[in-house]
Amino acid sequence: ATIPQLLRETVAAHGDAEALVFCESGQRLTYNTFAQEVDRCAAGLLSLGVTQGDRVGIWSPNRLEWVLTQFATARIGALLVNINPAYRLSELEYALNKVGCRVLVTACSFKSSDYVGMIRELAPELGRDGPLASARLPELRHVVVMGDDVPPEMIAFTELTGRATPALLVRLDGIEAGLTPSDPINIQFTSGTTGMPKGATLSHFNIVNNARFVTDRIALTPADRLVIPVPLYHCFGMVMGVLGAVSKGAKMIFPGEGFTPAQTLDAIAAEGATACYGVPTMFVAMLQELDRQHRDLSTLRTGIMAGALCPIEVMKRVNRDMHMREVTICYGMTETSPVSFQSFTDDPTEKRCETVGRIHPHLEVKLVDAEGNTVPVGEKGELWTRGYSVMAGYWGDEAATEASITDGWMHTGDLGVLDAEGFCTIVGRVKDMIIRGGENIYPREIEEFLIRHPEVSDVQVFGIPDDTFGEEVCAWVVLKPGSTLAAESLRDHCKGQIAHFKIPRHVRIVTDLPLTATGKPQKFVMRDRMQEMLR
């Protein structure tokens, strides 16, 4: 199906049901109202001259307008380009030009970021009607801004939707008839965990099907109320969250524009949520907040933890302390729409906590060694996946596409192990493996050990270059509130418990980890800072 078809089917079956709740703004929309607003937004985009195949950027935190733009662009066959809300001027310029955005939809500001100010600085020539080409953003024609504080050369979002005329609305239906599921509909930038984000080109078919399979596995129904604290700009929010919920007619609840653990827990309690998504660091923060202040989370049933290695201890606590008895882990990547592995809600708790579950329907998997040969069951190898979910390619980057896809097989860059029943354990990224004095060290093993320390709240292990051993093991540790544990005591704690070569040579106690906007720990940033500090 196409994205507009998906929404239409759900509206037909559950039109009066509540679709979207935004806790921060207080907005609540039924599926009927939502679909009408989508049409008005699509008609508004038509009035700007947006046509099939055009790129429309969205640069905003989690707001209603984000979701409206997502479905409105799909309604007219334009490609939605999801731009990281944490981007600054030069990154925005890079993303918009990389894919040639014609329109940018944005919020006025977010946290300390003045979005409108940055756009004005990039494109001072931008005119309101009959826009001038801007030197630094040559393809951009219009900027649409959410909120009340809209400068004269930009278009207010409410003005855009107000442009919907009956004639434009009729034109929409004609356009939709020409859409095909295999059309590219979305350019999703990856998280930038390992460096510069890459723009994956995805079709309706890719993401609509993946959204269905993801929510099949957690048995989402129209009775479910799903809390989405992950950013919409990322596949976790927009595909697994929004498209997943729409495919089942479930209710979506957005606790805030950005993530805070308190807002998320409050939203769960206030809305009687049955499901919640998050990356591991978000669940760590929620558990800590729960220790600080109790909330009734007894309505929770399931959810998804994904996006980065999920510490077993954290999964167990989420099962127990957050009542998410059927929580599953997903493994995937933006380039594969995203999910390829997931547990079932009725898999044994151990399997749900320790593995990423089993392969999704209609996908193939193999584990390969450095030469591309398949490794036997029980051995570590790089995960390759193949099937309907693999992207067409990186937008405008054939060399990178060719380097990462062979005969339809996506090279994930992640190391995994499969057991005889098909359960997969993720070991870590190929690039994060530490080779110290000839020993292969997997950071995850050390992280799993350290996070069991009663005073440790979060931990990241990585390697830095070393003259003697090739690489040395480093750990960044976040302590639980009130703890005064010293780095040296943590090293002592490792002695006799893990092999001597795995004991982090350098331990640093920190208050925060460097995270991507999706909440993923950026080891490359820690690695750079650590090297600077030791220099």
Residues forming a β-bridge with 425: 417
- Tell me whether the omega of the peptide bond preceding residue 338 falls within 30 degrees of 0, making it cis: yes
Instruction: Output 190 or 274, the one with its CB closest to Mg ion.
Output: 190
C-alpha closest to that of 41 among 168, 142, 160: 160
Instruction: Kindly indicate which of the ranges 110-118, 387-395, 408-416, 525-533 contains the residues binding ligand ATP, using the contact rule CB under 6 A.
Output: 408-416
Q: Is 20 exposed, middle or buried (0-12, 13-18, 19+ CB in 10 A)?
A: buried
Residue 331 interacting entry, from Mg ion, ligand ATP, none, C-beta within 5 to 8 Å by type: ligand ATP
**What are 195's two structure tokens?**
């460096």
Instruction: Output 35 or 315, the one with its CB closest to ligand ATP.
Output: 315
Sheet holding 142-146, edge to edge: 155-156, 142-146, 101-107, 55-59, 79-83, 184-189, 199-203, 393-394
Among 494, 520, 521, 530, indicate the residue that binds ligand ATP (CB under 6 A): 520
Q: Is 149 exposed, middle or buried (0-12, 13-18, 19+ CB in 10 A)?
A: exposed
Among 414, 447, 458, 472, indicate the residue that binds ligand ATP (CB under 6 A): 414
C-alpha dist (Å) from residue 492 to 125, 487, 507: 61, 9, 11
Determine the Cα–Cα distance for residues 378 and 357; give it in Å rounded to an integer.
Answer: 15
Find the shortest distance in angstroms from Cβ 194 to Mg ion: 6
Using CB under 6 A as the binding criterion, the count of chain residues that bind ligand ATP stands at 27
Q: CB neighbours of 183 closer than 8 A, spacing ≥ 6? A: 2, 52, 77, 203, 204
Find the shortest distance in angstroms from Cβ 339 to ligand ATP: 8
Find the shortest distance in angstroms from Cβ 264 to ligand ATP: 19
Instruction: Output 269 or 312, the one with its CB closest to ligand ATP.
Output: 312
Among 46, 243, 426, 526, indicate the residue that binds ligand ATP (CB under 6 A): 426
Assign 354 to helix, strand or coil.
Answer: helix
Letters for 354-373 (x = contact with ligand ATP by CB under 6 A, - = none) are --x-----------------
Phi, psi of 310 (to 5 degrees): -105, 110
Instruction: Output 68 or 383, the one with its CB closest to ligand ATP.
Output: 383
Assign 225 to helix, strand or coil.
Answer: strand
Residue 412 interacting entry, from ligand ATP, Mg ion, none, C-beta within 5 to 8 Å by type: ligand ATP
Find the shortest distance in angstroms from Cβ 533 to Mg ion: 27
Instruction: Output 106 or 188, the one with its CB closest to Mg ion.
Output: 188
Phi, psi of 208 (to 5 degrees): -65, -45
Question: In residues, how long is the chain?
Answer: 535
Find the shortest distance in angstroms from Cβ 228 to ligand ATP: 16
Letters for 304-333 (x = contact with ligand ATP by CB under 6 A, - = none) are --xxxxx------------------xxxxx
Instruction: Output 32 or 194, the one with its CB closest to ligand ATP.
Output: 194
Residues forming a β-bridge with 186: 80, 202
C-alpha dist (Å) from residue 313 to 97, 157, 299, 348: 43, 44, 22, 16
Determine the Cα–Cα distance for residues 442 and 463; give it in Å rounded to an integer.
Answer: 10
Find the shortest distance in angstroms from Cβ 189 to ligand ATP: 8
Find the shortest distance in angstroms from Cβ 336 to ligand ATP: 9
Residue 63 interacting entry, from ligand ATP, Mg ion, none, C-beta within 5 to 8 Å by type: none
Find the shortest distance in angstroms from Cβ 154 to ligand ATP: 30
**What are 390's two structure tokens?**
């693999």
Letters for 277-306 (x = contact with ligand ATP by CB under 6 A, - = none) are -----------------------------x
Q: Which residue is nearest to Mg ion (CB)?
A: 190
Instruction: Output 113 or 190, the one with its CB closest to Mg ion.
Output: 190
Find the shortest distance in angstroms from Cβ 426 to ligand ATP: 4
Instruction: Output 105 or 367, the one with its CB closest to Mg ion.
Output: 367
Residue 520 interacting entry, from Mg ion, ligand ATP, none, C-beta within 5 to 8 Å by type: ligand ATP
Could you report how far apart the first and last alpha carbons of the chain are, in Å?
56
C-alpha closest to that of 334 among 198, 506, 241: 198
Site for ligand ATP, residues 189 to 218, rule: CB under 6 A:
190-195, 197-198
Computed on alpha carbons and rounded to an integer, the radius of gyration of the chain in Å comes to 23
Binding site for Mg ion (CB under 5 A): 190
Does 43 engage in binding with ligand ATP (CB under 6 A)?
no
Find the shortest distance in angstroms from Cβ 288 to Mg ion: 28
The alpha carbon of 82 is separated from its chain's Cα centroid by a whole number of angstroms, namely: 11
Give the DSSP letter string of 359-376: EPTTEEEEEE-TTSPBPP
Find the shortest distance in angstroms from Cβ 190 to Mg ion: 5
Among 360, 429, 453, 523, indicate the residue that binds ligand ATP (CB under 6 A): 429
Instruction: Output 212 or 429, the one with its CB closest to ligand ATP.
Output: 429
If you search the block for the tokens 């030069």, which residue do you land on?
Answer: 90
**What are 495's two structure tokens?**
């002695």
**Would you tell me which residues interact with ligand ATP (CB under 6 A)?**
190-195, 197-198, 306-310, 329-334, 356, 412-414, 426, 429, 518, 520
